Amino acid sequence: MLDENYANQIKAELLDIIQHNPVIYKYLSFETGVLAITNLSVGFKSPWLFNDPYDFFEGLINFENVPDGYREYLIDKYHPDFSEAEKKSKMAEFAGVSDSVAVEYVKKNGMFNEVKNRGVSCFSRRYDHMLMWSHYAQSHRGICIGFNMLQLYINVARYSEERMIALVNYVEEMKPIDYYYSNGEAIIRWMKTKAAVWSYEEEIRIILNGLDYKGQENFIANLDLDCFNSIYYGSMISNENRTLMDTIIAEKMPNVDIFQMERQSNSFLLKAGPVRD
């Protein structure tokens, strides 16, 4: 349960994100971009599959200060199907273990349950960042899709009762938050925290919980057409792929703006030129 002040802070941040970032951008390989546009969809991925080893890292949460009575809470939370006899037996077993054992129990069960059914879709506030094109859009041979944030969030909300938009917080030092002080706040801060080295991404995340991956690595959310705002071609996209993408877009979303990222002769910047009037 979130502290009221922190809950209000999260709501205010959500409104601010939507107000100041009406369009958010997702960099994709050409093949993934074709699927996204053809199927009008966006993918969510398990945090366990992220490329940053400190993303959703348990070391960002401090589990050490186990409060009195927490053992009973753990049994109720992680074994809700236990009978009263089973709960008493587990309590008796738990009463004789050290705090360090209880800490490991929280880490094992708590982190697994917090992550197993979550899905994260990552976006940027920019469509023209050189490194983002290099790292996430097939070395400038892919595409970048601009999504209307509010419509996108409304669309994906139907897949999860627990969801949020999170502006990633980039930090220089690892300062774990006490898990027991405010369980909900610790989890939210955990999901929003990345090392400062990633700050160039200017990342905004949409996070859903309770997803069924059905054995797949990605959860695909189907979208309405009004979620799509614009499409940008990488500066090194092949003529063949550009022609194919033109055809798909003309069929699926004829009114969406298309741009071509272009290298400049006098700077190390990328600029977007319109593909059609």
pTM of the model: 0.85
Q: Measure the CA–CA gap between 255 and 195, rounded to whole angstroms.
A: 39
| pLDDT at residue number 123 | 98
- Asked if residues 118 and 46 have their Cβ atoms less than 8 Å apart, the reply is yes
Q: Give CA separation, 256 vs 24, 145, 158, 199, 202, in Å.
A: 15, 10, 24, 29, 24
Are residue 127 and residue 241 in the same domain, yes or no?
A: yes
Are residue 156 and residue 124 in the same domain, yes or no?
A: yes
Classify burial at 186, counting beta carbons within 10 Å of its beta carbon; exposed 0-12, middle 13-18, buried 19 or more: buried
Are residue 235 and residue 203 in the same domain, yes or no?
A: yes
Q: What is the DSSP string of 158-194?
A: TT-SSEEEEEPEEESS--PEETTT-HHHHHHHHHHEE
Are residue 233 and residue 102 in the same domain, yes or no?
A: no
DSSP 79: -
| pLDDT at residue number 67 | 73
| Number of structural domains the chain divides into | 2
Closest alpha carbon to 58 in 210, 209, 195, 190: 190
User: What is the 3 state secondary structure string of 20-76?
Assistant: HCCEEEEEECHHHHHHHHHHCEEEEECHHHCCCCCCCCHHHEECCCCCCCHHHHHHH
Are residue 55 and residue 22 in the same domain, yes or no?
A: yes
Are residue 24 and residue 40 in the same domain, yes or no?
A: yes
| pLDDT at residue number 7 | 78
- Which parts of the chain have pLDDT scores under 70? 1-2, 68-71, 94-99, 110-112, 182-183, 276-277
Helix axes 84-95, 70-78, angle to 10 degrees: 140
Are residue 149 and residue 177 in the same domain, yes or no?
A: yes
Are residue 147 and residue 232 in the same domain, yes or no?
A: yes
**Percent helix / strand / coil, the chain, rounded to 5:** 45, 25, 30
Are residue 212 and residue 230 in the same domain, yes or no?
A: yes
- Predicted confidence (pLDDT) per residue in 158-195, tens digit: 999 888 899 999 999 998 888 877 667 888 888 899 99
- Asked if residues 195 and 57 have their Cβ atoms less than 8 Å apart, the reply is no
Are residue 194 and residue 251 in the same domain, yes or no?
A: yes
Are residue 129 and residue 167 in the same domain, yes or no?
A: yes
The residue segments making up the domain with residue 268 are: 4-59+118-274
Last residue of a domain, one of 82, 99, 115: 115
Q: Give CA separation, 164 vs 52, 117, 211, 247, in Å.
A: 21, 14, 14, 35
Last residue of a domain, one of 115, 133, 149: 115
Are residue 202 and residue 96 in the same domain, yes or no?
A: no
